Amino acid sequence: MDIKWDNVKNAIFTGNIAGIPILVKRAISDGLPAQDILNKGLIAGMSIVAEKFKSNEIFVPEVLISAKAMQAGLDILEPLLVKAGFNPAGKIVIGTARGDLHDIGKNLVSMMLKGGGFSVIDLGIDVAPRRFIDEAIKSDAEVIAMSSLITTSMPSMKATIDLLKSENLSAKIKTVIGGAPVTQEYADEIGADGYADNASSAVDKLKELLEL
């Protein structure tokens, strides 16, 4: 009955792609909330990976395998996290900024937004400003949500906001940004309408912005 969070964290850290789905399914059948499995297991495991990567104890290949294990767990949790909402509360176009290939956090935000009842169009990684805007217009989205994990991709979020402004679209299409190096100060500096530092507060921020 008792799930050992250390086993889940360890499976993420060691990149046990086959083991993670088994552990996650077991946790679900033990009746644990999907949110707990996400926070206490998968995200906690990824935090260890982040620390060890930072201190040069592990390198990109190991991180990549851990990321795949994380994704294997997320794939199983997604339907449970999404279950909550029926009527789309609003339409969001989301993606990782140009030049940036990190997508774990963005995928989490996307999943949580779906769970919050939003209709989400995920453009994936390395999304250029023009594409964000074209897709938002095409799908009549109210918000463009951008993720950036490396400092070199942050200016691309500003470029998207500048382009929206130059096309007089910034009143119609709002922007929300996030990702580890992003701060509220940076969001203010580049004129983003919102910032959130994690996936659940992203949902709250979007609801606040769209007055839902």
Contact positions vs ligand B12 (CB under 6 A): 43, 46, 49-50, 53-54, 60, 63-64, 67, 99-106, 108-109, 145-147, 149-151, 176-181, 196-199, 202
Nearest to 103 by CA among 81, 129, 74, 83: 74
Q: How far is the C-alpha of 139 from the C-alpha of 120, rounded, in Å?
A: 10
* Least gap, CB of 50 to ligand B12 (angstroms): 4
Q: Least distance from C-beta 6 to ligand B12, angstroms?
A: 19
CB of 84 to ligand B12, least distance (A): 17
Between 100 and 122, CB nearer to ligand B12: 100
Judged by CB, which is closer to ligand B12: 30, or 139?
Answer: 139
Q: Contact at 8 Å (CB) between 73 and 42?
A: yes
How big is the CA angle at 148 (ends 112 and 203), to the nearest 5 degrees?
A: 25
Could you count the other beta carbons within 10 Å of the beta carbon of residue 118? 26
Residue 123: other Cβ atoms inside 10 A? 19
Q: Which is nearer to ligand B12, 30 or 88 (CB)?
A: 88
Beta bridge partners of 122: 94
Place of tokens 């769209």: 210
| Residue 90 or 178 having the CB closest to ligand B12 | 178
Burial of residue 212 (number of CB atoms within 10 Å: 0-12, 13-18, 19+): exposed
Distance of closest approach, residue 2 Cβ to ligand B12, in angstroms: 25
Measure CA of the first residue to CA of the last residue in the chain; give whole Å. Answer: 39
Give 85 or 99: the residue with its C-beta nearer to ligand B12: 99
Least distance to ligand B12, CB of residue 1, Å: 28
Smallest gap from residue 52 Cβ to ligand B12 (A): 9
The candidate with the shortest Cα–Cα distance to 102, out of 37, 153, 47, 161, is: 153
Nearer to ligand B12 by Cβ, of 3 and 66: the residue is 66
Q: How many helices (H) and strands (E) does the chain have?
A: 10, 5
